[in-house]
Amino acid sequence: MKILVKLLYALLVITSALLTQTAVAKESNSIVFGVHSKTAPLEWRNNGVDQGFNLELLDRIGQLTGNRIAVRRKTFQQLLTDVHNPDSLIDVIAVVSPVTIDRDLSQSDPIYATHAKAYTLQGKSFIEGWDDLKGKRVAIKKGAFVDVYISGKQQDFKRVDVDLYETGFQLLIKGQVDVVIAENFVARRLMPLYPSIRSSSDPLIYGAFNFVSNRKNAALMAHINDALRQLKLSGEYDRLVNKWFGTGREKVDLNSAQQRMLSLAIFVSLISAVGMLLTGYVSLSLRKRSKALKLELTQRKKAEAAISNLSKQFQSVLDGIPHGVTLFNRQGECLWSNDNNQLLKNPEFHYIDGQPFKLLPSLLEALDSNRSTIADMVIKNQHWQLQLHPIGDDQAVILLEETTEQQLLRQANDEASRLASLGELSAGIAHEINNPTGIIIHSIAFINDALADLSIAADSYQKQNPFWNIAGLEPTSALTELNLSSQSIVEGADRISRIVNDLKRYALPTIADEYQAISLNEVVQVSLRLTANQIKTLNVVTDLSSPSPIIKGDAQQLNQVLINLIQNACHAIVLDADTYDNDQHIVLETHIEQEFAYLTITDKGQGMDRATLQRITEPFFTTRRSSGGTGLGLSVCSRIIKEHKADMQIKSHIGKGTVITLRFPLETQT
């Protein structure tokens, strides 16, 4: 009994010390980083050392912000609970968020892109999209970015909540679920452990890794964002990405295989030692020789079987690497590959500058110079990065990684920069146009006053000289024409001033969370003036509610949405078609219904099929890629509409046109 009391007292002392140490660590100048992942190359522990991309990135951020990073490992559900608790000791965690949905937390800029796909047992049919999940049992990790994405959406499948993606894979093996929707990095690690499971769809959800924290740590998250942007500007972020996510980096998952090989080597060594002892014993005892040899042979066969099994597992891991890895000799013969390497022999596979790629000359050049080559390649609409490395013995390895998504993101970033520059240029041009417009308005006012005085003098002078003409016209007619011309100049100058003011308002920078009461009718009128050049050949009809609906929002952002929708409608119109009623190409309507204001844009264009409608708001999806479409317009519009607590409904039929309805919470009426 006394021993038990002493043990309890010692336990209380240790617990108190740990709590005190935790509190002191929390009060010190440190950031507590909560970690749950065991997925290389993001976060994992090797020989007791925490490492990975997220850990190294946050540690570098801590150095820039003057904070020490303390790592705490917990389960995913515990971390989600902690980060929503303002009193939690956990400051920051790293999670994946869908690209179109923000978590209800303070979060950083995107760290690294990823996606989620559907996984099924071998032999099951390929899943084309969400409609193929109808009626199926689908495993969803509770609280993960897949869960966040589908929350509030219509679900035609039977959802089965799991705590880990690995739990979902185990249920799939047991036949208790039909599909697992899992994040890419985790699934890539698990698939070699479950060879009967395969990837059975294209990416269904795009997401990005973010650091997230409780909103009380908004100031801390602002420092993290500043440091993250500093790392990106300096190029250090790119070096970290190349270090942890470069071609072949997923091999870090082979640590466990190496440990198994080491254990097996130790086991084989022990078997060999036992065999030597048995051999020595047999030499001393001839009667037991036969039995000892048989036992040793049996043990060796088991060891060979274990080595063979481990070799197959090792090959499975290599085959599971997502990038193409191919080994060649000097003659250009393929010695080993984890794909069919047909891309390297395709005549359409060329360098990004248009130069053709020739396999054998490239191999010989790398082997002769003993220098590696890294190049960006293109085939059709796909971008690839090719790495060619000589590895000795007249052999070279070629690594292929698809970089289409990174290229699209880079193009989107360049396009956004160009648009930002165009907005600044537009504001400057608008300011410069206002100056001569003001001079015109001021001067024409003086001319009007002068014409009123000159008309009296002209009457008197005409009596003295009946044959007097002004610009070839009889004086009365000439003065009338001058008055009409003066009035036209005033109207034109006013129109220029009105368009310039609209352009300046449109180019103003957006200030988030400072929405004001605005007129929905005025948004329509300003957008029509800014798109006057696009719609001048079309018959555009407006039916605006009176009084105008008043909503709370940002006029500049809503102008951006409506201008994009009007331009899309213009692209859909075929002028020689005979499907229009009274030549009404585009109709814009506003009305009030119950507690909502509605804005409807109807066009009699070509319409869209069901497949296009399902993907129309996805980033980078466009049906006008050949004519310069980026696929970002409706994606940005969708984000702006959600920020205004509004929703968008799209109805379209091939050959009959499209109807887009925007519904806003009603503020008041005027």
The mean per-residue pLDDT over the stretch 403-423 comes to 71
Rounded Cα–Cα distance for residues 373 and 387 (Å) = 6
Asked whether residue 314 carries a pLDDT value surpassing 70, the answer given is no
| β-strand partners of 343 | none
323 Cβ neighbours under 8 A, 6+ residues apart: 247, 248, 399, 400, 401
String of DSSP letters for 554-605: -HHHHHHHHHHHHHHHHHH--TT-S--STT--EEEEEEEETTEEEEEEEE-S
Question: Sheet harboring 382-392: ordered strands across?
Answer: 334-337, 324-329, 395-402, 382-392, 373-379, 350-351
> pTM higher than 0.75, yes or no?
no
pLDDT for 623: 67
CA neighbor of 620 nearest in space, from 401, 352, 380, 410: 410
Rounded Cα–Cα distance for residues 595 and 586 (Å) = 26
Rounded Cα–Cα distance for residues 555 and 202 (Å) = 38
Q: How confident is the model at residue 127 (pLDDT cuts 50, 70, 90)?
A: very high
Task: Check residues 8 and 504 and name the one with the higher pLDDT.
Answer: 504
| β-strand partners of 495 | none
Pair 161, 140: CB distance under 8 Å: yes
pLDDT for 61: 92
Query: How confident is the model over 197-207, as pLDDT tens digits?
Result: 999 999 999 98
Asked whether residue 235 carries a pLDDT value surpassing 80, the answer given is yes
Query: Own/partner pairs for 24-28, CB < 8 Å, 24+ apart?
Result: 25/70, 26/89, 28/68
Q: How confident is the model at residue 161 (pLDDT cuts 50, 70, 90)?
A: very high
The mean per-residue pLDDT over the stretch 38-43 comes to 80
% of the chain exceeding 70 in pLDDT: 81
Angle between helix 555-572 and helix 475-507 axes, rounded to 10 deg: 110
CA angle 640, 533, 584 (to 5 degrees): 85
Asked whether residue 172 carries a pLDDT value surpassing 90, the answer given is yes
Query: How confident is the model over 328-382, as pLDDT tens digits?
Result: 898 888 888 876 567 888 888 889 888 899 888 888 888 888 889 899 999 888 8
Query: How confident is the model over 462-485, as pLDDT tens digits?
Result: 667 777 777 667 777 777 777 888
Rounded Cα–Cα distance for residues 433 and 429 (Å) = 6
Asked whether residue 558 carries a pLDDT value surpassing 60, the answer given is yes
Asked whether residue 631 carries a pLDDT value surpassing 90, the answer given is no
Single-letter residue type at 507? A
Rounded Cα–Cα distance for residues 39 and 639 (Å) = 31
Q: How confident is the model at residue 522 (pLDDT cuts 50, 70, 90)?
A: very high
Among 21-25, 133-137, 250-254, the range of highest mean pLDDT: 133-137
What is the pLDDT of the chain when averaged over all its residues? 81
The pair phi, psi for residue 143, each rounded to 5°, is 85, -10
595 Cβ neighbours under 8 A, 6+ residues apart: 665, 666
Angle between helix 520-530 and helix 475-507 axes, rounded to 10 deg: 110
- In this structure, of 145-149, 475-479, 569-573, the range with the lowest mean pLDDT score is 475-479
